[in-house]
């Protein structure tokens, strides 16, 4: 296997209980062996996980790692976002993943931001270059996009508003990613676009998630997963093969880094990294 060096970053979600927080601490420690460029923590739309997000971010910094806080702006006011930025700065956070977010149905939109690009512009206006700003990108097109062209334009707008880099929604078809990067480049988007990698560990969870976020599960993967039924060992073994091959194609063909969606688990990422030769022997 070729040995192309490849920076990684790792995403966590805020734990819901003290037991979850303790478990996550162990997961993070296990993953630090990868020397991640940064570890990010998701943020529930409407600020629903704000305390948990900021606590996990604080823990990551205390563990000596670079942390990125996600921030979603839908339904938020400028005053609340200003307060968040001040808090993150005081915590020593240098990186933000700036998102629109999705409000649960029935939740009035309200708020002073419409698109993630509004949040990127706001962060730049308020804090200059204090933060490295990441934004989301969708090689297989965001489910609410008016058209593929409009969705690409949304990334152009986020880059022009001051985003430093982008992380993609996960995908299993590397052609979609490389085509997207090429088209973004042709539109003048020269920031790194880092592929988001979702390890496959559960068939039902992946199929449910993917329907909601617009990530396509290729037919051959979907049918193989369905054929394993409850046989989790086979699902995991197949998932490791598929995702390792995807990562290998991505890095050999020039992806700038890999961003792992950990789902707060260490084993799949460690095994994929081992197979990719990213771990010291």
For residue 238, the minimal CB distance to ligand FAD (Å) is 24
Closest CA to 44 of 120, 122, 107: 107
How big is the CA angle at 48 (ends 269 and 46), to the nearest 5 degrees? 110
Separation of first and last alpha carbons in the chain: 14
For residue 74, the minimal CB distance to ligand FAD (Å) is 8
Which residues contact residue 267 at a Cβ distance below 8 angstroms, ignoring those fewer than 6 apart? none
For residue 167, the minimal CB distance to ligand FAD (Å) is 4
Q: 116 vs 250, which CB is nearer to ligand FAD?
A: 116
Q: 140 vs 238, which CB is nearer to ligand FAD?
A: 140
For residue 157, report the phi and psi dihedrals to the nearest 5 degrees: -65, -40
The one catalytic residue among 11, 134, 248, 271:
11
Contact positions vs ligand FAD (CB under 6 A):
42-45, 70, 72, 97, 99-102, 115-117, 136, 142, 144-145, 150-151, 154, 157-158, 167, 169, 196
Q: 61 vs 213, which CB is nearer to ligand FAD?
A: 213
Q: How buried is residue 29: exposed, middle or buried, by Cβ count under 10 Å (0-12/13-18/19+)?
A: exposed
63: annotated active-site residue: no
For residue 172, the minimal CB distance to ligand FAD (Å) is 15
Q: 117 vs 262, which CB is nearer to ligand FAD?
A: 117
What is d(CA 186, CA 197) in angstroms, rounded to the nearest whole number?
Answer: 24
Residues designated as active site? 11
């Amino acid at each position: 296997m070729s040995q192309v060096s490849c920076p990684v970053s790792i995403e966590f979600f805020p734990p819901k209980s003290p037991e979850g927080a303790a478990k996550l601490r162990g997961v993070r420690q296990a993953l630090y062996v990868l020397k991640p460029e940064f570890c990010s923590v998701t943020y529930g739309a409407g600020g629903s996980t704000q305390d948990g997000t900021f606590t996990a971010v604080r823990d990551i910094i205390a563990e000596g790692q670079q942390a990125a806080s996600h921030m979603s702006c839908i339904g938020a006011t400028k005053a609340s976002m200003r307060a968040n930025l001040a808090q993150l700065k005081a915590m020593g956070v240098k990186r933000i993943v700036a998102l629109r977010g999705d409000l649960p149905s029935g939740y009035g939109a309200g708020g002073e931001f419409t698109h993630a690009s509004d949040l990127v512009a706001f962060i730049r206006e308020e804090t200059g270059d204090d933060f490295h700003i990441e934004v989301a990108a969708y090689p297989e097109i965001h489910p609410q996009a008016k058209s593929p062209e409009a969705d690409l334009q949304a990334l152009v707008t986020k880059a022009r508003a001051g985003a430093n880099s982008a992380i993609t929604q996960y995908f299993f078809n590397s052609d979609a990613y490389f085509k997207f990067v090429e088209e973004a480049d042709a539109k003048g988007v020269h920031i790194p676009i880092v592929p988001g990698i979702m390890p496959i560990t559960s068939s039902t969870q992946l199929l449910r998630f993917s329907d909601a976020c617009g990530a396509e599960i290729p037919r051959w993967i979907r049918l193989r997963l369905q054929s394993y039924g409850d046989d989790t060992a086979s699902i995991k073994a197949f998932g490791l093969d598929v995702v390792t091959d995807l990562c290998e194609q991505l890095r050999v063909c020039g992806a700038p880094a890999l961003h792992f969606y950990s789902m707060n688990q260490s084993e799949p990422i460690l095994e994929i990294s081992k197979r990719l030769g990213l771990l010291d022997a």
